[in-house]
Amino acid sequence: MRERLLAALLVLLPAPALAQAAWPPALWNPSPIRDDLVLPLPCGGRMAFRPVETPMQDGALADRPVTVGQPDTGSDYAEFPRRAHVAGPFVAGGKRVFYLGKMEVTRDQYAAVMDAECPTPLEAGRVPRAEVSWFDAVAFTAKLSAWALANARDQLPKRGDAVAFVRLPTEEEWEYAARGGASLGEGEFAARTPPFSEGLAAHAWFAGPSSADGRARAAGSLKPGPLGLFDMLGNVAEWVLEPYRLSVVGRPHGQPGGAVARGGHFLTAEEQMRSSLREEYPPFNPRTGAPLALRMVGFRAALGLVVTVDDGAPDAFARAFEAEARGRQFTAENPAEILAALKRDTPDEAVRRGLTRVETALAGEQRARGEQAAAALKAQIEAASTLARVVAISRGNVAVLTALRGLLEGMAPMVPEASRGTVSGAATALERRVADTPAAVAQVLDAYLRAVREGGEAEAQAITAQARIVEAEMRSRSLPLGPELAALAARHMQASKAGRLPSPEVAEREILAAAGLSPAQRPPPAQRRP
């Protein structure tokens, strides 16, 4: 009897869902990279994310200043350059990063999260999911976050007690990543598009029969940008998190507007493609009243994290804010202290509110001045390390040129007499080049020591902090000798600050040591011109 009852109950219960086979990687990550972050989706799907490094100072309130926007686009009211800030909430390989979807969300990925039935993964499902409203995109990130927290919590990146969730990227995150982030130098970062060696057509689908030809194409089918991200420009435009704002000569206008789509799409002309391109759309269709969904706008996912990652975070923020607001000023000359005293002494609430607004403006100005000083110091360290690299390369070349000159001199007796003059002339030219090198190196060393002396006027802590950022950026750009020589330039700046600026001979010796030249390879020190 018991067995018959149990059998009847089992018939009434729903059958367990069959496990979904994992999708072929070619449909969601056709070009895997070692440090891709891969997260599962419902229905056996997957989504790849790329870490975007944000080198910055240490500290609870530290972030990375960046310049976004582009001058002379014809849309200065929307894209005029402005100072913004990014900060990666996660730590990967000892670096602060944020995570951005490697590709635009595809039709199959969207269906796996949002539809009642699982899709059959196909090549056609690799096309980005467009005709989604901004609200649809946010709903996707909310539903995927809930599913991942319930089914794949251990695979989500964490920091402290906080676990990642899925959201749309901010405008600053999107543009910082589209431009190439810390993997590029300032000049390349500021260009209209990243340095695409094979041209824009190899990296972006834009308008015209030679490119997209009027329709979206499979995500990830062209070459990626500097950070391994596909289709940041073109294919479909991408919704971002915050509303549209105009630019008032470098600051956001006070009125928030509609939804923002970034990056251009398959109907955007090639000459209009740029990393700063941003377009405003009404959130609702003015004719139907329904949420606006366009065939050329989709979205890309990002991973977010709460700022207060554990119980100790608020205290850390308070200490960091106090240090930021009060630092580098003497109390007797501190305008903030004077304003605070006035607030304490006045009984008028309206006056107190007015003083609070003045305090806020003053703190913002102090912060801006601090950022300008930090940017100048960072540029000084970069310049010094570049000059040191010139010294190291020049001295390394001397050994090569000397050996080549000796080879030519040894060959002279063995070549036909008619060619001996040519060989002898080449050897003489090399000898002249070798002879001129010490004076040239001495000039570069003078410039290096001037940069070191000027950088040494900054605070010791600031030198250390900015040197760490420069080293991280140079590692990210795989710049040979860059991190080592940046670290040496910072040490020389610290020594200069303490009144121990190295002599040219000592500086050159230490540059060559940092460059890895053995004592046998090091030529005599540069002779300074009288």
pLDDT digits (tens, 9 = 90+) for 369-428: 778 888 889 989 998 888 888 888 776 654 544 554 455 455 556 556 555 555 455 555
Sign of CA dihedral 249, 183, 52, 279: positive
Pick the CATH number of 25-304 from 3.90.1580.10, 3.30.230.30, 3.30.70.260, 3.40.50.880: 3.90.1580.10
Residue 438's pLDDT is what?
A: 61
CA distance 75 to 376: 29
Residue 412's pLDDT is what?
A: 55
Residue 40's pLDDT is what?
A: 97
CA distance 190 to 184: 9
Q: Which residue from 462, 407, 455, 415 is spatially nearest to 431, judged by alpha carbons?
A: 407
CB 173 within 8 A of CB 302: yes
Q: Which two tokens stand for residue 132?
A: 């989604």
Q: What pLDDT, in 10s, does the model give residues 88-98?
A: 999 999 999 99
The set of residues, in sequence order, having a beta carbon less than 8 Å from that of 203 and lying 6+ positions away, is 194, 196, 222, 223, 224, 225, 233, 234
The set of residues, in sequence order, having a beta carbon less than 8 Å from that of 45 and lying 6+ positions away, is 23, 28, 108, 109, 112, 113, 121
CA distance 231 to 130: 14
Helix runs in 293-334, H state only = 313-326
Residue 522's pLDDT is what?
A: 47
How confident is the prediction for the chain on average, in pLDDT?
85
**Angle 417-455/482-497 helices, nearest 10 degrees?**
50
Q: What pLDDT, in 10s, does the model give residues 309-362?
A: 998 999 999 988 888 776 544 444 567 666 676 666 666 677 767 777 777 777
**In the predicted model, is pLDDT for residue 259 greater than 90?**
yes
In Å, what is the CA distance from 42 to each residue of 57, 109, 116, 150, 458?
Answer: 39, 9, 11, 11, 53
Residue 135's pLDDT is what?
A: 98
Regarding predicted confidence, which is higher, 294 or 525? 294
Q: Which residue from 101, 134, 106, 74 is spatially nearest to 261, judged by alpha carbons?
A: 134
Q: What pLDDT, in 10s, does the model give residues 442-465?
A: 888 888 999 899 999 888 989 999
Q: What pLDDT, in 10s, does the model give residues 477-491?
A: 888 888 999 999 999
The set of residues, in sequence order, having a beta carbon less than 8 Å from that of 438 and lying 6+ positions away, is 523, 524, 526, 527
Regarding predicted confidence, which is higher, 418 or 80? 80
The set of residues, in sequence order, having a beta carbon less than 8 Å from that of 120 and lying 6+ positions away, is none
Q: What pLDDT, in 10s, does the model give residues 16-73?
A: 333 578 999 999 999 999 999 999 999 999 999 999 999 998 899 999 999 999 987 8
**In the predicted model, is pLDDT for residue 130 greater than 80?**
yes
Residue 400's pLDDT is what?
A: 47
Q: How many CA atoms lie within 13 A of 467 on its CB side?
A: 24
CB 114 within 8 A of CB 281: no
Q: Which two tokens stand for residue 92?
A: 């990967």
Regarding predicted confidence, which is higher, 427 or 502? 502
CB 320 within 8 A of CB 155: no
**In the predicted model, is pLDDT for residue 118 greater than 60?**
yes
Q: What pLDDT, in 10s, does the model give residues 133-190?
A: 999 999 999 999 999 999 999 999 999 999 999 999 999 999 999 999 999 988 899 9
**In the predicted model, is pLDDT for residue 1 greater than 50?**
no
Q: How many CA atoms lie within 13 A of 515 on its CB side?
A: 23
Residue 249: band (very low, low, confident or very high) from pLDDT cuts 50, 70, 90: confident
CA distance 290 to 283: 9
Residue 361's pLDDT is what?
A: 74
Residue 86: band (very low, low, confident or very high) from pLDDT cuts 50, 70, 90: very high
How is the chain split into domains, by residue range?
25-304, 313-370, 372-514
Residue 414's pLDDT is what?
A: 57
φ/ψ bin of 328: left (φ > 0), alpha (ψ from -120 to 50), beta (otherwise): left
The set of residues, in sequence order, having a beta carbon less than 8 Å from that of 191 and lying 6+ positions away, is 179
Q: Which residue from 100, 52, 102, 123 is spatially nearest to 220, judged by alpha carbons?
A: 102
Residue 341's pLDDT is what?
A: 66
Integer-rounded Cα Rg, in Å, for the chain is 30
CA distance 475 to 94: 13
